[in-house]
Every structure is written in structure tokens, then in C-alpha cells.
Amino acid sequence: MASSQTTRWLWRNVTLFDGLEQLPEPMVVLVEQGRVAGLWPESGFDPSLARGAKEAASGGVMTPGLVDCHTHLVYAGDRAGEFEQRLEGVSYETIARNGGGILSSVRATRAASEDELIAASLPRLDALLADGVTTLEIKSGYGLTVADELKMLRVARRLGELRPVRVLTSLLGAHALPPEYAGRADDYVSLVCDAMIPAAAREGLADAVDVFCEGIAFSPAQCERVFQAAQRHGLAIKAHAEQLSNLGGSALAASYGALSADHIEYLDEAGVQAMAEAGTVAVLLPGAFHVLRETQLPPIELLRRYGVPMAVASDANPGTSPICMPTLMANLACTLFRLTPREALAGMTAHGARALGLGLGRIAVGAPADLCLWDIQQPGELAYAVQAGRLRQRVFNGEVAYAR
């Protein structure tokens, strides 16, 4: 039966970045039943290999669909006022300690219905899709009650049904201490471990559990309790760690087999080594570094030396990275952290997928066909120039989901 699922699509003469590197010559790509079914050099290509396939396009640069492995896309309200305060010299920590920051987004998000959160978040999701995203992670963390955290996760799941995109969810109950638990942080951590995580697991709403390990958030000992609860419920582990100081959160997360440790500006060599040994991905978030005007650089050279895979993500959130443009993140990863364009692109494809525990983000025969076709000459231009509108086609699960 001829359903759209069985369309065979052919791309001719594309310059191909396969998720780790650029192939040396122009390629032909065949997609069938949601997967890459053939990959040949253009020169000497025998069309009988792809008989009956429709030509989707010719020319351009093809990359895997972009993977944004760290976002806080679901929230209500905005924090434009805090942006101005910070420009006047007030620090992110001071704003947080005075009840603003994350807690300001918590107030707005608690007050919003699921439908209101969908309406607020869809334009942000659409901006990511228009810039090539085919898979993204969305965290909770602005609810901080069982009901409001589950509400955020349900909204994240619904977003994945409303658009042709793959959404993974992370429960970030341990993001900030809600005001009703002031002075009782350990009791709040118990709520996360004994109520939030079990409920999210039972309802199938979370793929992973995340924590914010920081002086203004949760201690390593508290994060460890959350990791243990995640493990009991079979959920993957991620951590915001070493963003503003070095508490050893990344090494702790690695010791629990975390998929990733994220931010990591203050990570030291022992932490890098722990991540290397555990296979924990380093998720770099240059948008937050840029917006907070940070100066402490993540230890890129050590990460390279120890072979820790580096992912790059938007961290899209109302406070530290109100930016929904993954290719800008590639640019910032190069200009601010001195990644090479190749590393930045791998960070948003193969390594981004790995930070989510997914075998996506590669273009290879047999791989799921999540692809982007860009109107540029060379893959590195995605990191070099900051320009919307270069995406010609976005292929999700083997079907052309967007074509201009």
C-alpha cells in the first residue's frame, strides 16, 4: 500500500556532514521507510540503485537533524526586567537569592494552564524547528510541586505530538527551593525523591531526571539522593553542574552513570577524568555563558585530551538563555569556547544525541532519517555566519516535514 511512510526520497549532489565529519565528495542519499537506505558518492552513481525514488532536492549541505539536548522550553512569563537589572550590575545569584530568577518563572508557570503553556511554548518550538531541530529535550523545573512539575512534563509531551519532532523530557524538580520549603531543603528533596520521581515514572512522563547542583540550588549530598531515586525508577540521570562554582557535581553525576553533565565552566581535571571514565557527555551551553557575561571558560582542552564527547545546546530558558536559535549556539561555541566548527556541529548532532542516550545524530546507512538540507556551500558556515532562513528542507523520520 502506498502510504507516505513508504515514499522513497533521493537527494543528489549534497555536501554531507555525517554528524562527526564532512565526507570528502558530493553524495547521493536515499531514504526509505524512515531510514537512510543508501549513501553513494555522486560521481559514478548508478540511478538503477534507487529506481522509483522521488528526487527530493539536489545540491546544498546535508547534516543530521539538529539535536538540542538541553532546553527549558516550557515556561510562562519572561524575565526581561532581570536582564536589565543584570546589565546594571546585579548578579544572577543576587537576583535568585532575593526571590527572583528561577522562582519568578515558577510563579508564572504555576499560574498557567496546560493550554496556556502550550501557547507560550509553541512559538519557541517553531523557532527551533525552523533552525533545523528534529530532536530536543525539554526540562520541567518551573513547577516545583508534584502537580506543576507533571503539568510541565505533560505539556512537553504534547508539544512533541503537535509538531513533527522528537521530544525527550527531564524531570528537574531539584531546580530551585520553592518558597514554601524555605529552610527545609532536605524535606523538599524528599518530595522530589518520594513523590515527584515516582509519579513521573509511573505516568511515563520523564525520560530522565536532572538536578541543579549549585550553591544557590542543591548540594551534592542532596543531588545524590535524587540520583538514587532516579536509579530506583529506571530513569536516566543528567546534571546542571559546575556552572557558577565547583562543587564536584559532575563527578558525582558521572559516578551514577549520568548521560551528561551540563554547563561545567568550573569543571576541574578530576571531574573531566570522572566523566571520561563513565562516558558522560559534556554539554556546553554557550548561550547561558554569553547572556550571564561569564568569564570562566569550560575546560575545553582537557575535555579534548580525555576524549569526553562535547555536545552543544541552547539551554533555551527565560533567565540565562532566552535564545531559540541552535545555529547561533554553534557560532557562540566557536567564538566563546573556541570549538572548531566541526566540533560545534558534532556537538549539535552526534554528541547531542548521545547526551540523550539516543543513537541518532548520524547520517549512515540504516540510521533514522532525521536530516537537514541547508542553502550553504560548506557545513562550517552554520557556525560561521548567524543567519536565519538557511534551512531548505527538514526531514523528520524519513518524511520531508518542512520544505521552502
Residues that bind Fe ion (CB under 5 A): 315
| Half-sphere exposure for 69 (CA within 13 Å, toward CB) | 32
CB of residue 42 vs Fe ion: minimum separation in angstroms? 41
Q: How many CB atoms lie within 10 A of CB 342?
A: 16
User: From residue 54 to residue 73, what is the string marking binding to ligand NIG with x (rule CB under 6 A)?
Assistant: ------------------x-
Known binding residue 181? Answer is: no
- Confirm or deny that 79 is annotated as ligand binding: yes
- Between helix 102-111 and helix 146-162 the angle, nearest 10°, is 80
Instruction: Please pick, from the candidates 9, 11, 212, 227, the single residue that binds ligand NIG as defined by CB under 6 A.
Output: 212
Q: Out of 169, 320, 349, 397, which residue is the one contacting ligand NIG (CB under 6 A)?
A: 320
Tell me the C-alpha to C-alpha distance, in Å, between residue 13 and each of 10, 27, 59, 285, 373: 10, 5, 5, 34, 11
Q: Is 331 annotated as a binding residue?
A: no
Contact call for residue 288 and ligand NIG (CB under 6 A): yes
**Where does this chain touch ligand NIG (CB under 6 A) — which range of 23-31, 100-108, 180-188, 395-403?**
100-108
Residue closer to Fe ion (CB basis): 60 or 141: 141
Q: How far is the C-alpha of 323 from the C-alpha of 330, rounded, in Å?
A: 12
Q: Would you count residue 319 as binding ligand NIG (CB under 6 A)? A: yes
- In the complex with Fe ion, the residue whose CB is nearer, 289 or 396, is 289
- State the minimum distance, in angstroms, from the CB of residue 259 to ligand NIG: 16
| Least gap, CB of 292 to ligand NIG (angstroms) | 8
Stretch that binds ligand NIG, among 98-106, 148-156, 224-232, 302-310 (CB under 6 A): 98-106
Q: 398: number of CA atoms within 13 Å, CB side?
A: 20
* CA–CA dist 207, 236 (Å, integer): 7
DSSP per-residue letters across 277-335: HHT-EEEE-HHHHHHTT------HHHHHHTT--EEE----BTTTB----HHHHHHHHHH
CA distance 155 to 149: 10
- Angle formed by the axes of helices 114-130 and 146-162, nearest 10°: 40
105 binds ligand NIG, rule: CB under 6 A = yes
β-pairing verdict for 8-16 and 27-32: antiparallel
Q: Is 100 in the site for ligand NIG (CB under 6 A)?
A: no
Residue 318 interacts with, from Fe ion, ligand NIG, none (CB under 5-8 Å by kind): ligand NIG
Q: Read off the C-alpha cell for 123.
A: 512559538
* Nearer of residues 289 and 374 to Fe ion, judged by Cβ: 289
Q: Is 102 in the site for ligand NIG (CB under 6 A)?
A: yes
Q: Based on CB atoms, which residue is closest to ligand NIG, 222 or 243?
A: 243
Nearest to 155 by CA among 198, 195, 199, 122: 122
Q: Is 240 assigned to a binding site?
A: yes
13 is in an annotated binding site: no
Binding of ligand NIG by 240 (CB under 6 A): yes
DSSP letter (8 states) at residue 397: T
Q: Which of 131, 148, 242, 315 is the binder for ligand NIG (CB under 6 A)? A: 315
Residues 105 and 264: their CA atoms lie apart, in Å, by 23
**Site stretch for ligand NIG (CB under 6 A), options 8-16, 201-209, 313-321, 345-353:** 313-321
CA distance 180 to 125: 32
Residue closest to Fe ion, measured at CB: 315
For residue 189, give the nearest of 169, 168, 209 by alpha carbon.
209
Q: Is 165 in the site for ligand NIG (CB under 6 A)?
A: no
* 222 interacts with ligand NIG by CB under 6 A: no
Round to whole Å and give the CA distance between 15 and 23.
7
- Is 280 an interacting residue with respect to ligand NIG (CB under 6 A)? no
Instruction: Find cell 518551573 and name the residue.
Output: 142
233 labelled ligand-binding: no
Interface with ligand NIG, residue 317, by CB under 6 A: yes
Q: 546594571: which residue's cell?
A: 88
Q: How far is the CB of 197 from ligand NIG (least distance, A)?
A: 19
Binding residue ranges for Zn(2+):
70, 72, 240, 315
Residues that bind ligand NIG (CB under 6 A): 72, 101-102, 105, 212, 240, 243, 288, 315, 317-320
List residues forming the annotated binding site for Fe(3+): 70, 72, 240, 315
